[in-house]
A and B are shown apart, each in its own frame.
Chain A
Amino acid sequence: MAVNMMTAHQVTQKVFNKEELFILDVRNEDAFEDWKIEGEYFEYLNIPYFELLDGVEEILDKIPSNKEILVVCAKEGSSVMVAEMLSEAGLTVSYLQGGMKAWSEHLEPVKVGNLKDGGEIYQFVRIGKGCLSYMVISNGEAAIIDTTRMTDIFVNFATSKGVKITNVFDTHLHADHISGGRKIAEQTGATYWLPPKDAQEVTFEYAALEGGSVVTIGNTAIDIHALYSPGHTIGSTSFVVDEKFLLSGDILFIDSIGRPDLAGKAEDWVGDLKESLYSRYRALSEELVVLPAHFMIIDELNEDGSVAEKLGKLFAKNHGLNIEDEAEFRRLVTENLPPQPNAYQEIREINRGKITPEEEKQREMEIGPNRCAVR
């Protein structure tokens, strides 16, 4: 019948709106097992495209006639081929523009709240990988926290809002994705802040982000208070924005907590992690809205697609915040950990400025889920 193109943005809206979608994923079985498009009401069929070279007849009875069909592959080419074969067989189907490569890079901006005197805070949901970045806007200025490699999206968003990017922060040295912080800072003249304890081997200039630092965005004084909260990394720092939002980096997530092993120091950092979560965060207002740097599963998304929850709620519900026994806590965060993120050591090197692989290689390294948490 017909072949349509669906964009990553359109698929993201279907995730947010909890719509139904039947995904025919024609990548390798390993690739599908490792990582796929997640949606609450999505159904899947994984048949590698190279099994379909002789025709799609054999899978026709596995494809529902009453659902929207999306064919997905790594980079688009194979999904177009399979979509055309299905179309010739009489079905109306779509393919994902840019494939999983585009899905991995797509960022969906979601407004998470207003700040005083007309300020706003936006969350950029990297839906395919679970990374969350933030932009704080106030009176013509913007700060970005934990940017991704796709810097154009942030720069263009700031332009569309008519604001100038003045400060860029990373809560820690990331191991799961390549930071765009330095690039944006170079491009816009903004100050790039990093916690010095995570920046010991970096090859570039940065402003040292210490616990207690206060950075003001816009002349209406939206303050970003830095709170030293080690554990995921030794430098991990959280931010309290406008006394309303707690940007928790990779220390605390909605349904999980940070893993301390990605720098190879799990045993050393367990105590720091516990102290950050059970003492430093405990001392904060329970009314603060926690905005983490990742989500792990699609269930963590709110109705509007945002990932946010009050600190008090997390103290009540998040299992990782409710383990009083030291030994049990130690076991949770050091044993039976999920696999480490793809290429995490190389990604750390890139974020230190030590290596700069070409873009295609960087893209490849980031393929797959983020895996920064333990539940």
Chain B
Amino acid sequence: MDLLKANVVLDATGLACPIPIVKTKKAMKDVEAGQVIEVQATDKGSKADIEAWANSSGHQYLGTQEEGDTLKHYLRKASDEETIEKKHPNTATNEELASKLSENIVVLDVRESAEHAFNHIPSAVSIPLGELEDRINELNKDDEIYVVCRTGSRSDLAAQKLVEIGFKNVVNVLPGMIKWTRETTKLEN
């Protein structure tokens, strides 16, 4: 399951409630804002609790995968990306992107790979923002590229970067996946 890349992996298997959450909270301190942590637990109740804890503490709960008796929970640490001013001029709304999906465009999802894996627009290509420069060869400069992330901030940075490199036709999608109500591909458990 290498689609589900995590920056930090926490082993909380064999531990009963409340320890998995106590350990997650501690481990979260060492995770950088915007990074993904994978929490492995065997306590079945940890799923509902970790989701509720993430929501109340501002972190993003991505989803849970079951592997045998082990539950792997994926969380993305809260970041202040939403507050950064967006600069890329060429933007489209979610609805405008939806109406373009049948055309010859590229949807570039720059969220973390685990975020993409759990829920993404079916045709979207996943290149996390942090990997964009290294993987630029996977994109074609002449394509019409719609960049999407969760709230429009990372995609704004990605769009700026693409323009710098020489891409001509780059559109930032606002607000992004957080309000996407159309069809998505979800990770099967």
Q: Could you list which residues of chain A lie within 8 angstroms of chain B, going by C-beta atoms? A: 28-31, 48-51, 53, 73-75, 77-78, 81, 360, 364
Contact = CB atoms under 8 A, between A and B. Distances in A.
A101 to B, nearest CB: 10
B44 A364 contact: yes
Interface residues of B, number: 14
Interface string B33-61: 00000000000110011001100100000
Interface stretch (B12-20, B84-92, B148-156): B12-20
A53 B25 contact: yes
Nearest to A49: B18
Given A51-B56, A364-B44, A77 B49 contact: no
B48 A31 contact: yes
Contact of A78 (B17, B25, B44, B52): B17
A374 B53 CA distance: 35
A50 B53 contact: yes
B48 A50 contact: no
A47 B22 CA distance: 16
A81 B18 contact: yes
Most chain A CB neighbours (cut-off 10 Å) among B16, B17, B21, B25: B17
Contacts of B49: 28, 48, 50
B59 to A, nearest CB: 12
B17 A74 contact: yes
B22 A53 contact: yes
30 contacts: A28-B52, A29-B52, A30-B48, A30-B52, A31-B48, A48-B49, A48-B52, A48-B53, A48-B56, A49-B17, A50-B18, A50-B25, A50-B56, A51-B56, A53-B22, A73-B17, A74-B17, A74-B45, A75-B16, A75-B17, A75-B45, A77-B16, A77-B17, A77-B18, A78-B17, A78-B18, A81-B18, A81-B22, A360-B44, A364-B44
Contacts of A29: 52
Contacts of B21: 49-50, 53
Contacts of B48: 28, 30-31
Contacts of A78: 17-18
A73 B48 CA distance: 13
Which 6 pairs from chain A and chain B are nearest by CB?
A78-B18, A50-B53, A50-B21, A77-B17, A77-B16, A28-B52
A364 B47 CA distance: 14
A160 to B, nearest CB: 33
A261 B18 CA distance: 38
A263 to B, nearest CB: 28
B44 to A, nearest CB: 7
A46 to B, nearest CB: 12
A3 to B, nearest CB: 15
Given A49-B21, A75-B16, A78-B18, 9 more contacts: A28-B52, A29-B52, A48-B52, A50-B18, A50-B21, A50-B52, A53-B22, A75-B17, A360-B44
Most chain A CB neighbours (cut-off 10 Å) among B16, B25, B45, B56: B45
B14 to A, nearest CB: 13
Contact of A77 (B19, B44, B53): B19
Contacts of A81: 18, 22
A50 B52 CA distance: 9
A70 B22 CA distance: 22
Contacts of B56: 48, 50-51
Nearest to B19: A77
B53 to A, nearest CB: 4
Contacts of B45: 74-75
Nearest to B44: A364
B78 to A, nearest CB: 15
B165 to A, nearest CB: 43
Contacts of B25: 50, 53
Contacts of A53: 18, 21-22, 25
A290 B45 CA distance: 39
A81 B44 CA distance: 19
Contacts of A31: 48
A258 B52 CA distance: 35
A73 B56 CA distance: 18
B31 to A, nearest CB: 16
A364 B22 CA distance: 23
A49 B24 CA distance: 14
A180 to B, nearest CB: 23
A77 B12 CA distance: 15
A85 to B, nearest CB: 11
A177 B128 CA distance: 48
A29 B49 CA distance: 10
A28 B47 CA distance: 11
Contacts of B18: 49-50, 53, 73, 77-78, 81
A50 B51 CA distance: 11
Contacts of A51: 56
